[in-house]
Amino acid sequence: MLDPRRLRLLRDVASTGTIAAAAELAGCTAAAASQQLAALERDLGAVLLERSARSVRLTEAGRVLADHAGPLLAGIDEAERAVRDVAGLRGGSLRVAAFATAAIGFVVPALTTFRRRHPDVELRFTELESAEALPELRAGTVDLAVTHEYAPLSRPDLRGLDQRPLYREPMLLAVPRKDAPAASGPIDLADFAGAAWVAALTSTGFQAATEMACRAAGFEPRIETRVHSYPMALAMVAAGFGVALVPRLAATGQRGLVHLPIARPTGLVRQIYATTRTADRSPAVRHLSRYLVGALKTAT
């Protein structure tokens, strides 16, 4: 493989006419430069310079290589500048994914801060649920994903991925306002054993969340409505179709319902992570992770 330092010496010999002048440009002695040029000849198995006691000139092979050295070295210089720009957050790109409630709650503000402070980094965002985001991370099409897991449900396959815990949020019970208890304060899920329940679709991957919490409270929920998203669950609760467990970030204010804290722990919580590839040490990823923490403090 061609050594860029030796190529630079040959190029400078061609432009200055002497090894001494090329050595001065390289910041080394003429003897060291001569040794490097001789090593370049050995690497290629070709004579590049015709040396005499008083002068040096390029052979035909040397001229051909010197002509090619310019574009090659320019490409290397450009690559080095691009790497330095990325390392200094003056270039490159950052691809982010997050699920909807996190995106609305704190990811978008964090992205806004990132874009304001690092305008030269191309920022791309895709809304993805956690089950969709993890394969995209592994494939390299996403650099950072805000994901969630419901404890104590089984964990996903995280081989090759790192997770930074961002927020451990409790579950609340969304109840139609007309059915809310008169007394304020935390409630026991068992008090709603006879209610109709709104829960996730069985295709969401977390379909067992409501069932698990209710069973921990000592009853089997009567699920009459299944939905894909928390906004839809809240809409159904507000319309009087049942009650629903929702994480705190999803508990947005809506007319016709109230969000009640749960007194007796169900063991069910939602843990939110910043998930990245283990091998990725991108400065952009590190900075956005810090902005996510800051935006969460504001949101919660």
| The pLDDT of residue 113 | 94
Q: How far apart are CA 42 and CA 84, in angstroms?
A: 33
Looking at 1.10.10.10, 3.30.70.20, 3.40.50.150, 3.50.50.60, the CATH number of the domain 4-87 comes to 1.10.10.10
Q: How far apart are CA 13 and CA 16, in angstroms?
A: 5
| The pLDDT of residue 3 | 84
DSSP string for 274-299: EEEETT---HHHHHHHHHHHHHHHHH
Q: What is the pLDDT of residues 3-19, one digit of tens each?
A: 888 888 888 888 888 88
How far the first Cα of the chain sits from its last, in Å, is 56
Range 170-268 classified under CATH 1.20.120.10: no
Cβ partners under 8 Å of residue 131, min gap 6: 156, 205
Q: How far apart are CA 107 and CA 97, in angstroms?
A: 9
Domain spans of the chain?
4-87, 93-167+270-299, 170-268
Kindly state which CATH superfamily the domain 93-167+270-299 is placed in. Answer: Periplasmic binding protein-like II (3.40.190.10)
Centre a 10 Å sphere on the Cβ of residue 275 and count the other Cβ atoms it contains. 23
Centre a 10 Å sphere on the Cβ of residue 160 and count the other Cβ atoms it contains. 11
Q: What is the pLDDT of residues 208-242, one digit of tens each?
A: 788 888 888 899 999 999 998 888 999 999 999 99
Q: What is the mean pLDDT of residues 171-198?
A: 90
Q: How far apart are CA 10 and CA 69, in angstroms?
A: 8
Enter the tokens of residue 11.
Answer: 């190029």
Q: How far apart are CA 132 and CA 147, in angstroms?
A: 10
